[in-house]
């Protein structure tokens, strides 16, 4: 994949390499920094650029030209949240977590 541009975020001189981007940056030939998700989606759907992440693609929201291809790398990216034990989450947050979990489950990539 070294010949393809890797697309990632940068904001105000601070690189935003999210935990979902489990990649060795030394093995990237072309690196493109972006400042917003819309530009990222446009470039992903109209170029040979790529990004690494969960592989979850929200139907009817993202351009259908953006596809998820599972990589055989020997590990999986996990999505979760962290909270303090002494803090109780409001019902609205619990509903949001349930809805988000459902959406992620529906948008998981199919194995090739």
Q: Note down pLDDT in tens along the chain; length 112 residues.
A: 788 999 987 765 555 444 445 566 677 888 898 888 889 889 999 999 998 877 777 777 788 888 888 877 777 777 788 899 999 999 999 999 999 888 888 877 766 4
- Answer yes or no: are the C-beta atoms of 5 and 60 closer than 8 Å: no
Q: Give the residue among 26, 66, 72 at the shortest CA–CA distance from 50.
A: 66
- Answer yes or no: are the C-beta atoms of 44 and 69 closer than 8 Å: no
Give the pLDDT of residue 94.
95
């Amino acid at each position: 994949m070294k010949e393809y541009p890797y697309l990632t975020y940068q904001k105000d001189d601070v690189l935003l390499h999210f935990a979902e981007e489990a990649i060795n940056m030394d093995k990237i030939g072309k690196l493109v920094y972006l400042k917003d998700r819309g530009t990222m989606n446009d470039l992903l759907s109209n170029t040979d650029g790529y990004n690494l992440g969960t592989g979850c693609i929200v139907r009817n929201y993202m351009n259908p030209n953006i596809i998820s291809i599972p990589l055989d790398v020997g590990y999986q990216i996990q999505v979760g949240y962290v909270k303090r034990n002494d803090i109780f989450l409001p019902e609205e947050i619990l509903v949001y977590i349930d809805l988000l979990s459902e959406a992620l489950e529906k948008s998981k990539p199919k194995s090739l």
